[in-house]
Structures are given as structure tokens and as C-alpha cells.
Amino acid sequence: MDNDVRRSFETLAIHAGQEPDAATGAVVPPIYQVSTYKQDGIGGLRGGYEYSRSANPTRTALETCLAEIEGGTRGLAFASGLAAEDALLRAVCRPGSHIVIPDDAYGGTYRLIAKVAEPWGVSFDPVPLGDIAAVRAAMRPETVLIWAETPTNPLLGIADIAALASVAHQAGALLAVDNTFASPYLQRPLALGADVVVHSTTKYIGGHSDVVGGALVTADNVLGDQLAFHQNAMGAVAGPFDAWLTLRGVKTLAVRMDRHCANAERVVALLAAHPRVREVLYPGLPGHPGHDVAVKQMTKFGGMVSFRMASAAEAVAVCENTKLFTLGESLGGVESLIEHPHRMTHASASGSPLEVPDDLVRLSVGIEDAGDLLRDLERALG
């Protein structure tokens, strides 16, 4: 990872796109809760703003900041992560197109591709992305996109971004990386060769479980223009208040991620030593199949931890017995969450090739006191 860029991450998160307001000097970009803008004569736009679906200053601040912290040139903010994914799919796919997706993709991504895109004539193959030979074998002349997620939700699988980029580019396809789990603080896919980064900003970037949003970031100006065209033509944009809340979250991303990672490491140590836990899934563990790749492309291993119990009943019991870890979907907020992916976040993948094991528990380790978190888990594990 480029050292100069790494050093300035924290500064960019606080300042990129966030110059003090020209009119008042407000140090935080105001919430421009407005739909339209006065024109100084027809077409005489002030700063390019004409209608807030096309552009809004609060959203511009967020989009600029996201582009810079991902090392891209164009950031686009959407109403949700899935709205961002939809815009990307519709911009790059046509009837007859083929996509390679992870065999453990996020359930909502799978549902979007299998239930919405496929009926419009887009085919796909789920492939274990850790196996580069399998990915290469899945490429077809019609393949326009490799969709990667790393680490994956909820199995914490790791894909080699640089290797996937070269497979995609040799085949004339693009590589999209869903960077939601790592966040740009831990991993920067564009620098590793990816063409576009996808985020559910609902998660670590927003960071406070108070806003739903999504983003696309690219360093390719042609693709950036296509995505911006689709953002405006389809219209699923982030509203001004949502953009403002998300930008407020971004400012502390680095300090939050440091604490998420430190707490996750303590949780992993406890789980790995616990007799009732059958297996801990965390890319920071040397025995994890993607550990070496994770070391190469991530600065730390993140705040998400999954583990398997002896049975579905035991997994459910742990989920229902924590007090501090709140039983709930979503992830990446300051508060710790626990869930049962098979029946909750990934229920939409049940019966599909992407079905997740029913003895799996997923933790989003928050930034509370680590000792309190460990005591809660220990008690729930009984």
C-alpha cells in the first residue's frame, strides 16, 4: 500500500470535499435540504447545481470525500448499498451478459443478481473466488464483470484482488469489489487493480447504525461518467441529510476501525480457546485459508468475526443469550451486534448454492470496552 496515501487517510477523511462553507465559514458542510437552485439566466448555474437528483452540495461533499479515501477520482452516493449495486449492474450489463460472483456473496447481492438481473437476461456463475483457476475457468466471451467481496459476508472468505483484476482484464471484463467489510481504511481495491469499489455505507463508513446508504467509487473517468449518468437517470440518490450523516461518520472511520480491529482480536482469542466453539472464521488467524492474501492486501483484519457451534440449536442459543451484543441485522456500527445468518441476513440465500451453514454465528464487534464484550460472550457461551 502506498505510504504517502496511507499517512494522509485520516486527514482526507476529515477534510476532503469539506472546505469551510464559502458563504458562512461553517466548518462542516451544511445540509442543503433543497430540491432546486436559482439560475442566473437560463443555464447560468451556480457551481453546477440545477436539481438535487443530479447534484446536491451535501452529497457532493460526501462523494468527493469517498473518492479520495478510496484513491479514486469519482465517488457516487446512493440511497442504499443495493441501489449502488443496481446502478453498477445496469451500467455495465446488457441482455446476454454474464457475471462471475462469489459462491458466498452477500445475500442481498445474490438476490439482486439472481432475482432481478437474471430475468432481464443476465446470467451468472457463483465461484469460490479464493480459487483463481476456478475463476479463470468460469470466464466466458460474454463475461463483463467479476463481482468480488473480500472479506465476504458472513463467511469471511478472502479473494486476491490483484489476481482477480488480472483475470478480469485479460478477459476484457471489469472487476468490482464490494469493500464494505474492510472499509477503505483497511483495504483499497482500486490501488490493487479493481475498476470499481462498491460500499454499503450503512455499515462501517456511516458507522453509527443511523443511516442507510451506498456508494460507488472508480478511478476510470469513462466508467465514472457512465455510472454518474445511471445515478441521475435511475435516481436512487442519497438525500442531503443521509449524505450529511454519512459524512459525519466518515470523519472518525480510522479511529473506529482501529478499535473495531483491536476488540475483534480479543474476541477471536476468546472464541478460539473456547471448548464449545467448533471453528472461528477470521482472516487474521494464521490457519484461515485466505490469511496470506489478507496480510498482503489489508492493513488489519477488521471487526467482523464469524464462528460455528456444534449445532444450529447451539448457534441460536448463543445469539439469544448475549446482553451487550444486540441481536440484530446489519454491522459496522459502534455497538456490537450478533446474528444468525442462516435465518436472518442470509435467509434470501436459503435453498440456493449460497446457503450458509445453520450452525454459524456472526458478530459485528463494536467499540465498547473489550472486557465487557468478552464477559458477555463468555456468559452466553455458558
Counting Cα atoms < 13 Å in the Cβ hemisphere of 3 gives: 0
Q: Is 53 known to be catalytic? A: yes
The Cα–Cα gap between 193 and 175 comes to 8
Residue 183: how many other CB atoms lie within 10 Å: 26
The single residue among 56, 180, 322, 336 that binds ligand PLP, judged by CB under 6 A, is 180
Dist. CA 254–CA 243, nearest whole Å: 19
Minimum CB–partner distance for residue 81 and ligand PLP (Å): 2
* Catalytic site includes residue 178: yes
Q: How far is CA 156 from the centre of its chain?
A: 13
Where do the H-state alpha helices sit in the chain?
3-15, 57-69, 81-92, 107-111, 132-138, 161-170, 183-186, 221-234, 240-250, 253-272, 291-297, 312-321, 370-381
81 binds ligand PLP (CB under 6 A): yes
**Which parts of 140-169 interact with ligand PLP (CB under 6 A)?**
149, 153
75 binds ligand PLP (CB under 6 A): no
CB of 318 to ligand PLP, least distance (A): 21
Residue least distant from ligand PLP (Cβ): 81
User: Is 204 tagged catalytic?
Assistant: no
Told to judge if 38 belongs to the known catalytic residues of this protein, a careful annotator would answer no
Q: Least distance in Å: CB of 360 to ligand PLP? A: 15
Rounded CA separation 127/178 (Å)? 16
Nearer to ligand PLP, 264 or 380 (CB): 264
Q: Does residue number 239 form part of the binding site for ligand PLP (CB under 6 A)?
A: no
How distant, in Å, are the alpha carbons of 153, 203, 323, 324, 338 from that of 319? Answer: 17, 20, 10, 11, 6
Q: Number of residues in contact with ligand PLP, rule: CB under 6 A?
A: 16
> Using CB under 6 A as the criterion, what x/- string covers residues 99-138 for binding ligand PLP?
-------x-xx-----------------------------
- 37, 49, 106, 204: the active-site residue: 106
Closest CA to 207 of 138, 142, 267, 254: 254
Site string for ligand PLP, 202-231 (x = CB under 6 A): xx--------x-x-----------------
Any idea which residues carry the catalytic annotation? Answer: 53, 106, 178, 203
Residues binding ligand PLP (CB under 6 A):
80-82, 106, 108-109, 149, 153, 178, 180-181, 200, 202-203, 212, 214
